[in-house]
Chain A
């Protein structure tokens, strides 16, 4: 659905993105992460046919973004970062206008349908200029969904929404992502973790990592870290755990819990559990500690992906 190879974009002397290569399949939600100015918006703009690349190729929904830009634009739903809207228009009229430009049949019914999807049916006759930021965000999302696009490109789709709306919009994206291709950029790393099948981490115009969040965690850590909590103070718990062969870096935390790690590949948790119980402790918790996406993000973007 999206196939990018060697994509490069220069703004004058400045290279915004350099030799990007990635794919996104139908039924996949791909997260696009990176610090400000990393090249996320530039990439998204190229994929939506807004601007051509300086070099490389991008195929979206089977069409080349430069050679067959109109065909790409027919099949892509796009929510830009700033959610540009005609503030002097009524919500319904605005969506109808955008639908007419896309030649959507039965446009009145379809507008009602998408307004219902984004929870704005009761504001259909309100002026966009009078809507809150979150509501405008939803109008933008409705516009992107209007023509049932094969590919949905969303630049920060949940920014400005209240927590309830965030949950609803994420569910909406999840539902859409079951059948279509969704590429979304976000600064909310937990959003990427919860929503995306795969993430692309971009830094200084280059992709520094591309994988599922779980695989990224495993690749970066090279080891698995676990926390153990027992009833009581568990003073000698650390010594007990150290007795298990293969366990390393055992640390007692302030609250009495103990963290340890073991090499990836062999799960030592059953042995540790047996040892803890055998030593007379009441085991309350034995939980793997994943590396958070925040940590992965910082690791990759601060070292230019050297640890990839």
Chain B
């Protein structure tokens, strides 16, 4: 565990040495800020005319996760592929650390970076809580944030796994983006096309468990298991890719 933490800390610091990190932060926080402002504006208008549902910030977290489909690959693309390109992978693979620890450290560093951005967004429910009476449903907000962490964890783990396969970070980016697109938009498309049946495909969708359950305050075991399984799968792919590099 020590090694995972050491690698994660370095990776986290590295993000802030790169302009890409600030672009990613801006690309997430700016739309969320605009979206939150719109929520406040529409809610206050509705309140003046005596209608509309009480506002919440759950859609903001949904937007965060949706943006991760595009920005997640940018966060993970260089994590291992760049080490291979620069030759530092040789350094890591001759250090007394397990391959899994190396991959998990990379994933944890990326997750810590995303969580840093997520922490900033907590300001939205706090502000909103002051505007609505009798306050917002904090249990749902907490569930939503746990969901956000779970989805991000799964996405970043898959991204790290793919990054371990390639030496070129752009190849890693596009393959990860393609996978996220498939899991977000297409994997459960037959459900709506078939008009009945095939609901099981919803369970494979990256968005379904979050949007339909966890973000609504419904922490389903299926959802939690799905995201944790994807996380484990990503770490497994990454570790196996490193093993294969050794034997090649």
* Stretch in A48-56, A226-234, A275-283 touching the partner: A48-56
* Stretch in B89-97, B122-130, B167-175 touching the partner: B89-97
Q: How far is the CA of A90 from the CA of B86 in the complex (A)?
A: 17
Interface string of A50-68 (1 = CB under 8 A from B): 1110000000000000000
Which residues 222-248 of B sit at the A interface, judged by CB distance below 8 A? Answer: 246-248
Number of interface residues of B (CB under 8 A): 23
Q: How far is the CA of A223 from the CA of B4 in the complex (A)?
A: 61
* Closest A residue to B245 using CB positions: A51
Residues of B within 8 A of A76 (CB): 94
| A88-B17, A97-B6, A103-B2 known; A48-B94 Cβ under 8 A | yes
Interface string of B71-94 (1 = CB under 8 A from A): 000000000000000111111011
| A73-B95, A74-B96, A101-B97 known; A52-B247 Cβ under 8 A | yes
Q: How far is the CA of A86 from the CA of B95 in the complex (A)?
A: 15
* Stretch in A77-85, A214-222, A254-262, A287-295 touching the partner: A77-85
**What is the interface of chain B mostly: helix, strand, loop, or mixed?**
helix
Residues of A within 8 A of B87 (CB): 80, 82, 84
Number of interface residues of A (CB under 8 A): 28
Contact between B88 and A85, CB atoms less than 8 A apart: yes
B45 at the binding interface (Cβ < 8 Å): no
* Closest A residue to B94 using CB positions: A48
Q: How far is the CA of A100 from the CA of B2 in the complex (A)?
A: 9
Contact between A101 and B86, CB atoms less than 8 A apart: no
Q: How far is the CA of A98 from the CA of B87 in the complex (A)?
A: 15
A-B contact pairs, 24 of them (CB 8 A): A11-B248, A45-B90, A48-B94, A49-B94, A50-B94, A51-B247, A52-B247, A70-B96, A73-B95, A74-B96, A80-B91, A80-B94, A82-B87, A84-B86, A84-B87, A84-B88, A84-B89, A85-B88, A86-B14, A86-B88, A88-B17, A97-B10, A98-B95, A101-B97
Binding site for A on B (CB under 8 A): 2-3, 6-7, 10, 14, 17-18, 86-91, 93-98, 246-248
Given contacts A48-B94, A84-B88, A86-B14, 19 further A-B pairs with CB under 8 A are: A45-B90, A50-B246, A51-B246, A51-B247, A52-B247, A76-B94, A78-B94, A82-B87, A84-B86, A84-B87, A84-B89, A84-B90, A85-B91, A87-B86, A88-B18, A98-B95, A100-B2, A100-B6, A101-B97
